[in-house]
């Protein structure tokens, strides 16, 4: 089976991914009537995670994976990932 994904941020290009990254991926399967709710929550949490140093990408499944979303956190190193995750344990101002 072949699967295709679209980045929800249409400004991102393949050349933006020319490095070697450490990443964390959460895969979400959602019923069609909840798509917009999930995307709204993704976008709300994106700025919170970016404040900790993460680069956040959201992908929607097309052919072969309808209703599936990948929420991807990218980091330059394992140290950066660890520092970002540690910041999530502290209250936000």
CATH number at residue 59: 3.30.70.100
State the residue range of the domain holding 66: 20-87
3-state DSSP: the chain helix, strand, coil percent, rounded to 5? 35, 30, 35
Q: Is residue 71 part of a domain?
A: yes
Tell me, what's the pLDDT at 65? 72
Residue whose entry in the numeric block shows the structure tokens 């097309």: 62
Question: Rg for the chain (alpha carbons), in Å?
Answer: 14
User: Domains in the chain: how many in total?
Assistant: 1
pTM for this model (two decimals):
0.74
* pLDDT tens track for 47-90: 999 999 999 999 887 776 777 898 999 999 999 999 999 998 76
Quick: pLDDT tens for 15-34: 666 777 888 889 899 888 88
Residue of higher predicted confidence among 1 and 20: 20
């Amino acid at each position: 089976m072949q699967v295709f994904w679209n980045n929800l941020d249409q400004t991102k290009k393949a050349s933006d991914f020319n490095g070697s990254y450490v990443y964390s991926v959460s895969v979400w399967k959602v019923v069609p009537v909840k798509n917009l709710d999930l995307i709204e929550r993704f976008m709300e949490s994106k700025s919170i995670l970016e404040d900790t140093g993460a680069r956040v990408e959201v992908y929607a499944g097309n052919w072969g994976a309808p209703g599936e979303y990948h929420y991807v956190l990218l980091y330059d190193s394992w140290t950066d990932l660890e520092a970002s995750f540690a910041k999530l344990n502290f209250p936000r101002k």
